[in-house]
Amino acid sequence: MQKVVNIGLLGSGTVGSGVIKVLEMNQRQITERVGAQIKLKTVLVRDTSKQRPQLANYQVTADINDIINDPEIDVVVELMGGLHPAREYMLQAMEAGKNVVTANKDVVAQFGKDMFAMAEKHDVDFLFEASVGGGIPIITPLKQSLTANRITEIMGIVNGTTNYMLTKMTEGGSTYDDVLKEAQEKGYAEANPSADVDGLDAARKAAILASLAFNTRVELKDVSVEGITKITPDDIDYAKNLGYVVKLLAVGKDSAENGVDVRVHPVFLPKSHPLASVNGVFNAIYVRGNAIGEAMFYGQGAGSLPTASAVVSDIIDTARDICNDTFGRVRCTCYEHKVLCPLEATESSYYVRLLVNDKPGVLGYVATAFGDAGVSLKSVIQTKRNFIDNTEYAEIVAITHVVKHACIEKAIEVLNNLAVVDKIRNVIRVEKERG
């Protein structure tokens, strides 16, 4: 008799419905690949009286204990989202000896240590491929395929909402407010978009990626975060003219000199960089290792079926473990202690856009201010003039050489105190050319 692996599903929203669809439409292939039938036995919902046509053929409950205490359920798939009670339900499931699959980046980023410890204690799987990059396989490659490498850099476009918005601003010259409204109308952005546009969603994913890539524990609080709310069409145009595109990147770097540096922020990205051509709602993750060199993983970073694809791949992996009587094949590899690089010690080139009084000698004052702060300038352009309250101003755009963040902060402080500087309009990191 063919073995059956029973699933308990927590949540039947967008991704949960996608998981059900993938399991149904690819049932034959999945059974052949696993060597067992994967059967969805019970689905946890908030309200059992609500009509859910996609669940008509499945047992439905509003009581988590119906899943936790069911000895026939082998795998609990958590797709509720949020921290609580998702974290508690997953811990309870593992304590009961059940394998857990999740797409929950919040829990993995903030409570990953607890989850891995519980999985190890009870000799079960805890898998989370769908927590980063939607349908893009990246977690498993970092845990398995790339383990022969010392990874020194991981960089990604991991938020589809902000990438869509920046793409629209680049292609059409639209303002931030206009593209946000369009993204909300299309369902790419929430009514309250702060998690996306302020960079928090990307920061959670950055913590997960960096932990796996660098074999250390990076928590959400360790990630410096800046969103896209200050990006203007002018910044987009300057980027174009200087040979860059503007992207919101999750950046992780590991060096012997500075330690582990993990951050999320907009960057001027050279048009030659592989990530520069990733547009719309697509995601991509770029990895540099000392053996493989450069590699990039690209695909749809969200959506019902792409994300469900990643979830079901984890279900298949843990089902194979069950069939072969092996559990936790790849434990958490994030136990090496590494020094975290403080923000002020991070290094980058910077784009600085200033509004200054349009009169002789101003450029000299600005250059001196940068120099006094220990910032060397790669290029300086004095561009368009502005009339504000009958006063003539000019715009200065400077690109610095690579400097420590502490130096650029000092330069900004000095510039803000200059009488000839009316306003610092933006400061954006500039990513260097590959090589």
> Among all residues, which ones are annotated catalytic?
205
Name the amino acid, one letter, at 274.
P
CB within 8 Å of 56: residues ≥ 6 apart = none
| Total Cβ atoms within 10 A of residue 2 | 7
CA distances from 3 to 35, 39, 43, 305 (A): 8, 10, 21, 26
* SS3 assignment, position 21: helix
Q: Reply yes or no: is the peptide bond before residue 266 cis, omega within 30 of 0.
A: no
β-partners of residue 411 are none
Compute how many other C-beta atoms are within 10 angstroms of the C-beta atom of residue 117: 15
Separation between Cα atoms, residue 317 and residue 336, nearest integer Å: 26
Neighbours of 385 (CB within 10 A): 10
Do 248 and 199 meet the contact criterion of CB atoms below 8 Å apart?
Answer: yes
